[in-house]
Amino acid sequence: MALVWSCKAFDALSAAELYQSLQLRSEVFVLEQQCVYLDPDGLDLQAWHLMGRDDDRLLAYLRLLPPGLKADEPVIGRVVTTPAARGSGLGRQLLSQALVECEKLWPGRALFLSAQAHLQSFYGGLGFVPVSGQYVEDGIAHVDMRRPGT
Ligand SMILES: CC(C)(COP(=O)(O)OP(=O)(O)OC[C@H]1O[C@@H](n2cnc3c(N)ncnc32)[C@H](O)[C@@H]1OP(=O)(O)O)[C@@H](O)C(=O)NCCC(=O)NCCS
């Protein structure tokens, strides 16, 4: 799938981009995963927002938190693809694009993410290694993972 990728600071997002991002996040993390939590947690204002679009549709999204905000390392979070596009390699494409953007923003830095436990091998295939045991957050099993810097 040939998507157009963009990575923008909060202030550079259009109102439509912000709306679509929050809509996709709620659709998946709140409704699909049946998890009542405050998705717009305040960190978005300092985050970079990576979007993969097909015309005016947002198909893939994640956010990048700068180092020192949630962890010492930059943090990848809110990793999501639209349900209709799952299993087509889009998730892998999204993460690969995130690694490119992180290298531009924070060259050579290690990266951190909190993975849903069943996705450990997905992130492992992209160089992330577990750095914690499993723990439950918002009712879902997670494991912390770190990708060493260069
Ligand atoms: C996780 C997610 C982004 C992956 O996107 P995708 O477009 O389905 O991913 P891909 O088609 O590129 O598949 C990537 C790999 O992840 C694996 N994978 C995807 N979803 C999975 C799941 N629910 N359980 C186990 N493995 C899964 C695939 O099997 C694939 O592995 P392979 O390459 O060895 O076959 C997507 O499933 C999603 O949005 N899930 C809901 C939100 C979520 O849980 N986000 C992660 C928060 S940590």
How confident is the model at residue 56, as a pLDDT? 85
CATH class held by domain 4-147: alpha beta
Lining ligand 1 with CB less than 6 A are: 28, 79-81, 85-92, 115-116, 118-119, 122
Whole-number Å distance between alpha carbons of 131 and 115: 11
pTM of the model: 0.96
30: Cα within 13 Å, side-chain hemisphere? 11
Give pLDDT tens digits for 47-71: 999 999 998 899 999 999 999 999 9
Contact between 59 and 3 under an 8 Å Cβ cutoff? The reply is yes
Contact between 50 and 101 under an 8 Å Cβ cutoff? The reply is yes
Residue nearest to atom 31 of ligand 1 (CA): 122
28: Cα within 13 Å, side-chain hemisphere? 19
Residue 24 amino acid letter: L
Give pLDDT tens digits for 10-36: 999 999 999 999 999 999 999 999 999
Do β-strands 75-81 and 57-65 pair in parallel, antiparallel, or remain unpaired?
antiparallel
For residue 29, give the ligand 1 atom closest to its CA: 42
For residue 114, give the ligand 1 atom closest to its CA: 48
Tell me how far the alpha carbon of residue 128 lies from the centroid of ligand 1, in angstroms: 15
Tell me how far the alpha carbon of residue 119 lies from the centroid of ligand 1, in angstroms: 7
Give pLDDT tens digits for 73-100: 999 999 999 999 999 999 999 999 999 9
- Local confidence band at 41 (pLDDT 50, 70, 90 cut-offs): very high
- How high does pLDDT run on average in the chain? 96
Q: Given a cut of 90, is residue 2 above it in pLDDT?
A: no
- Local confidence band at 1 (pLDDT 50, 70, 90 cut-offs): low
How confident is the model at residue 85, as a pLDDT? 93
